[in-house]
Amino acid sequence: MIKQKKIALVNDMSGFGRCSVTVELPIISALKIQVCPLPTALLSVHTGFPNYFLDDYTDRMERYVDSWQKNNLSFDAIATGFFGSAAQIEIVRRFIKNFPAAVIIDPVMGDHGKIYKSYTREMCRGLRALLEFADLITPNLTEACELLGVPYPAGGVVSDSELATMASNIAAKTRGGRVVITGVTLDADDGSLIANFIFDRGEINLVTSRRLGGDRSGTGDAFFAVAAASWLNGENLFDATRKAADFVAKCIAHAEKLNLPWNWGLPFEEFLTELK
């Protein structure tokens, strides 16, 4: 019997700026997986704007999950993203224990060598502890360093052997042994490429794309949605990563053409129907 897959998506809902649920839900749906959001916070705009309204959802998450349990719901995967408090990470830990599923973690903790101001030491410890359940994890270099407790390399430039060590050390802390270190600049390159380093249970691969313009918010979320859903659909991690990198590159090129502000997110809607 064929069966459609379901992902519980633990992430915030930001009204403007195309990040987290507003990006992941349409993309994962386009890849034919049912998305069931478990909100961590409601924001007017994401935190990359000078002013944002944030309604933290911590004290309602437990009752929300409790209702899912009482309705005997189940999921093929639980995907996590932005957390607003350490207590939320604990709630999600219990959620994972009570709902057996593949666990895919996007550790939205920071960028460019800096942990987000909202991400406390306690949250960093909580996320490290969540790794034991991860089947797949997609840190950027900042997050990979934080998860391992090692310094961020000067200028954010790394060699592939350094990446191999980092990815293998992160994989050793997880259940599934699959890590994609995203959006890295390699020392062997002149800076014109952006690389995703794949560690799949010991097998190493690299997916590179041409770097185009500066950083744009929501890029990691769009990448994560395509890669996680494609992998859950049975594609190998290399193909899933290649597809995600190509999709994001296409969206970034269009954002440049539209001259969008960096914090408006990616105009992925233009390409949604091309996803399969």
* Residues within the interface to ligand PXL (CB under 6 A): 12, 14, 19-20, 43, 46-48, 82, 108, 217-218, 220-221
Tell me the closest approach of the beta carbon of residue 161 to ligand PXL, in angstroms.
Answer: 29
| Helix spans in the chain (H) | 21-30, 58-70, 86-98, 121-130, 141-148, 160-171, 219-232, 237-258
Nearer to ligand PXL, 17 or 153 (CB): 17
Residue found under tokens 């490290």:
128
Q: Minimum CB separation from ligand PXL for residue 106, in Å?
A: 8
DSSP-derived letter for residue 201 is: T
3-class SS of residue 147: helix
Closer to ligand PXL by CB, 20 or 142: give it. Answer: 20
Shortest Cβ 226–ligand PXL spacing (Å): 14
Q: Which is nearer to ligand PXL, 46 or 186 (CB)?
A: 46
Site of tokens 């960028």: 111
How near is the Cβ of 71 to ligand PXL at its closest, in Å?
27
Is-contact 209 192, C-beta < 8 A? Answer: no
In three-state secondary structure terms, 119 is coil
Least separation, in Å, of the C-beta of 174 and ligand PXL? 21
Q: Which is nearer to ligand PXL, 142 or 200 (CB)?
A: 142
Give the residue at shortest CB distance from ligand PXL: 47
Using N-to-C axis directions, what is the helix angle for 121-130 and 141-148, rounded to 10°? Answer: 90
**SS3 annotation, 236-250:** CHHHHHHHHHHHHHH
Whose Cβ is closer to ligand PXL: residue 171's or residue 181's?
181
